[in-house]
Structure 1
Amino acid sequence: MVHDEPVKEGSEQDGSSNPEAKFSFFVGPGNNSELVRKTLERRPWWELGKEDDPDLNLKWLQVRQRSVAEWVRRMGNKQYLNHLDGLTCIGRKNELYFNLKAYCEKEKINVHEIAPPTFVISVGEACPEYVEFCRVCKQLENKARGQGASEKSAKVVKSNEKAGKGEGATSSDNHSDNLSAASTDEPSSDSASRTASSSKNASKASLKSPGKSSHSKMSRGDAISNINTAGERNIWIVKPTNNNRGNGIRVFRGFNDVDAHLKKKQAGSQVIVQKYIERPLLYKGRKFDIRCLVLVDNNMSIYVYRRFYLRTSSAMYNPENVQDLFVHLTNYAVQKKKKKGKPERELDEDEMDEEDEAMEEGNNLSMDELTAFLAEEGYRMDANGILARIQEIVVLVFQAVWKKLNPLREKNTFEIFGWDFLLDEEMNVWLIEVNTNPYIGCSSQLLRTIFTGMLEGAVRKCIDPFFPPPRGRSLDEVEEVDGSDMWDKVYPAEPNKDKK
């Protein structure tokens, strides 16, 4: 028997006086289901059951199937499922953006300091988002032409000064001033001062926190101008609203290429068009992103796993080359396809290629490796400072979807999410997307360590308190796993124990 509230091990109320009594579970195939199974089988009172057994105590599936969810809902506290209801509000890129944007406007928070400026475009329809995207692209292209002309004029001035042509220098200066005055998209003085300051002087205190902002309703065009690391090449990344593993993502430069791509899409479909951060922080010349694991338990308490990891690209970063996705996408599902001389070859999900070029094992780096790299490069920021900012963003996003996620507040469901963040060269942390059913394949020893500890900790938080060991057995029998104690509760906030 399972309970709505945690119970003590071997207590009279658990009804498990039989030491041979066992709970049963089923783990659906895929995404390293073997690791999930081994985590549960560390507990001698759990055993593998059959998928169609109506008396299963736990179903661990890759997706929340409607029929299964309805059955679990009828079963109440007798059966648990590893997926919350209402996941689209955060797992689909279009809904995530709209929910976050609406919440930030309500709370007077600048959404463009959390996620890159984004457009959700409905293909082949009268779409205000498309009209606004056209306007912003034209604005950026005009700005780029103006800056190009200004740079050309500046070169003429410098050349004339060297040649002693005073009149030419004066004329060129006037022309440059006119171009500058004509620009409607000139960065603000705040933006200019940020550009002048070295990003390597960043500290934990300098990370932008999602507080109240006077720019909460800033247009996306102005936001792009204020984001130094958005760059000047007018590069955009286009994504499907609901795919994962890098499927369907393309990178384009300029409006015409994006528009041509959109015209090939099925009418009525929605796509995400997001400003590409052209100046990301690079690791040894290559792009990377951060994958952070987040847990929501059956009481809607939110935990962030203390060990995030980096996913690195196999190709040197080159913003001029928008066709090569190995440069721009750091998903393991994408990077594992980059094989020496055989780019078309695909590996099995957790297979590692011993013949590939020497990069990081599995294209992964740890927090410690990131901290060491930042120190070596002269940055004052470390991985723990980045994690603190990530935790702030996680709480804010959940507040934005609080009423939509698990709206019935079911007490027999929980969820593990994979959150992706980008770090730019000014040490800003950008939310990219939120993934349900995140990858837990052991493509490197680092990931094996992280995922083994993460899963053990998740089971201790979400399963053990409600499926206690039978009388005569104890959780002390369960093998200790490194990292199982690294789920940090971030919401609701833990009370300050120092306060009296």
Structure 2
Amino acid sequence: MADLSYLFVQRDAGSSVYTAVAKYLQTREDKSWKKVPRDSTRFNLMLGDRNKLPYSKLGQIRGLTQVVNYYRGSDVICRKASLVRTLKDYCEEKKLHMFEWMPTSFVIYPPCDQEVVVIGEEKFVRQRRSRSDERDQLKKCAEREPHVIWIAKSSNGAKGDGIQISSDVGSLVQMVDSQRKAYVIQRYIDSPLLLSGGRKFDIRCWVLIDATYTIYLYREGVLRTASEEYEPDRLDHLTAHLTNHALQQELSENFGKYEVGNEMFYDEFDSFLQDKYGVGLAAAILPQIRSIVKTCLGIVQSKLNTTGLDFWSFQLLGFDFMVDNDLKVWLLEVNGAPACAQKLLSSLVQSLVETAIDPLFVPYGQVQYGPNLFDQI
């Protein structure tokens, strides 16, 4: 009897989410999927690392439907510098003011080499940059508001690596010039909404784009919380300012003191908002998040469009937000390969497969699903 299974390859370990997707497909009771070696050319689904996917090899077998777990070109919003550039270019083209939910941001590039400039009989050596950056605009902005605090973040950094916070713009630019990668220097949100113990947090939301570019927001989210009380006058106290899990776990003795794994979930956050402000998450925060997500993904849709290609794409994104003490939501960054809180992983994976994969490859048998927690926005 012919094997009717759909075939998938797992080219790289990839994110924890897609590792869990691979396991889920192999253990689901309908037995519709079969894993084949990573170098196979005949497959329906490719799961891999977004930076190592062989897009040119997709869609080569006539009559074979293929889908891959990343949209090619998603770096236009998944790298910090590219996100800033993309939003600025759009606003400039449309003659709009910059979006109010994006902190004032400038892209700074380090020098890439040197050039000799001759003026009369004098020779000068100056640093030449890989492309024009925004250091002059940043310095002018800082001169107008000398007491503003700024945060410098590597364009492709992770786990809090290389982040510096300072009101001295000159020192931040000097730091960037000693690096080999682009940085975003951004106005620091110095009036954050604080949890019990006066602690900062950010919100990770999971967003799914399916093969038809329909956008879904996962119904649950997680607050990544700080271990220490927020101290605006101590900018070097990283565990009070940066909520990254890896950094908190490595540097703070208080990691896990307030929340298990420094993670708070929506139900508890909703109760906090109700008690403090008399308004809940659904009314105060989520409408802002949905609006920001739709705007960002609408702007880049033409850059990610797969129309005319011989394969399909879908992608899970991690949108990170901060909330200030006026309950205003700010976009921090977009992660192209987000991890998921362990508590939510199994339901997120099941919902992802049901939303993005099953419509393209209808299961052969009955599947006992749990609730699908992706809502279209």
Short-chain TM bin = 0.7 to 0.9
CA distance, structure 2, for counterparts of residue 307 and residue 458 of structure 1: 13
Q: Does the 8 Å contact 1:26/1:49 carry over to 2?
A: yes
Match of 1:452 in 2: 346
CA distance, structure 2, for counterparts of residue 306 and residue 357 of structure 1: 24
Evaluate the alpha carbon distance shift between residue 114 and residue 104 of structure 1 in structure 2; reply closer, same or farther with a 3 A threshold: farther
- Among 224, 231, 243, the alignment partner of 1:330 is 243
**Is 2:293 the counterpart of 1:394?**
yes
**Larger helix proportion, structure 1 or 2?**
1
Gaps spanning 5+ residues in structure 2: where?
Answer: 112-127
TM-score normalised according to structure 1 size: 0.66
- Among 215, 234, 244, the alignment partner of 2:158 is 244
Q: Does the 8 Å contact 1:119/1:130 carry over to 2?
A: yes
**Is 2:375 the counterpart of 1:485?**
no
The 3-state SS of whatever aligns with 1:418 is: strand
Evaluate the alpha carbon distance shift between residue 25 and residue 336 of structure 1 in structure 2; reply closer, same or farther with a 3 A threshold: farther
Match of 1:140 in 2: 145
Match of 2:13 in 1: 29
Q: Does the 8 Å contact 2:220/2:373 carry over to 1?
A: yes
Evaluate the alpha carbon distance shift between residue 98 and residue 356 of structure 1 in structure 2; reply closer, same or farther with a 3 A threshold: closer
Match of 1:275 in 2: 187
CA deviation vs aligned residue, 1:93-118 (integer Å, no higher than 9, x gap): 12211221232344454424120000
CA distance, structure 1, for counterparts of residue 306 and residue 86 of structure 2: 15
Match of 1:301 in 2: 214
**Is 2:325 the counterpart of 1:415?**
no
Amino acid at match of 2:145: L
Match of 1:152 in 2: none
Structure 1 residue 30, shift from structure 2 partner:
4.8
Q: Does the 8 Å contact 1:116/1:274 carry over to 2?
A: yes
- Among 158, 161, 175, the alignment partner of 1:261 is 175
Question: Where in structure 2 are the equivalents of 1:36-75 lying within 5 Å?
Answer: 36-41=21-26, 42=28, 43-66=30-53, 68-75=54-61
Question: Where in structure 2 are the equivalents of 1:314-393 lying within 5 Å?
Answer: 314-340=227-253, 356-393=255-292
Q: Does the 8 Å contact 1:86/1:407 carry over to 2?
A: no
Q: Does the 8 Å contact 1:314/1:338 carry over to 2?
A: no
Match of 1:439 in 2: 339
**Structure with higher RCO (Cα < 8 A, 6+ apart):** 1
Match of 1:345 in 2: none
The 10-residue stretch of structure 1 (384-393 or 277-286) with the greater mean CA deviation from structure 2: 384-393
Evaluate the alpha carbon distance shift between residue 252 and residue 430 of structure 1 in structure 2; reply closer, same or farther with a 3 A threshold: same
Q: Does the 8 Å contact 2:103/2:186 carry over to 1?
A: yes
- Among 405, 414, 418, the alignment partner of 2:304 is 405
The 3-state SS of whatever aligns with 1:120 is: strand
Gaps spanning 5+ residues in structure 1: where?
Answer: 1-17, 142-232, 341-354, 441-446, 491-500
CA distance, structure 2, for counterparts of residue 380 and residue 137 of structure 1: 36
CA distance, structure 2, for counterparts of residue 321 and residue 452 of structure 1: 39
CA distance, structure 2, for counterparts of residue 254 and residue 383 of structure 1: 38
Evaluate the alpha carbon distance shift between residue 108 and residue 386 of structure 1 in structure 2; reply closer, same or farther with a 3 A threshold: farther
CA distance, structure 1, for counterparts of residue 289 and residue 308 of structure 2: 25
Amino acid at match of 2:187: K
The sequence identity of aligned pairs, in percent, is 31
Amino acid at match of 1:40: L
Amino acid at match of 1:270: A
Q: Does the 8 Å contact 1:23/1:46 carry over to 2?
A: yes
Match of 1:80 in 2: 67
RMSD: 2.3
Match of 1:189 in 2: none
Amino acid at match of 1:138: E
Larger radius of gyration: 1
The 3-state SS of whatever aligns with 2:251 is: coil
The count of corresponding residues between Structure 1 and Structure 2 is 352
**Is 2:359 the counterpart of 1:465?**
yes
Q: Does the 8 Å contact 1:89/1:405 carry over to 2?
A: no
Structure 1 residue 337, shift from structure 2 partner:
1.5
The 10-residue stretch of structure 1 (94-103 or 270-279) with the greater mean CA deviation from structure 2: 94-103
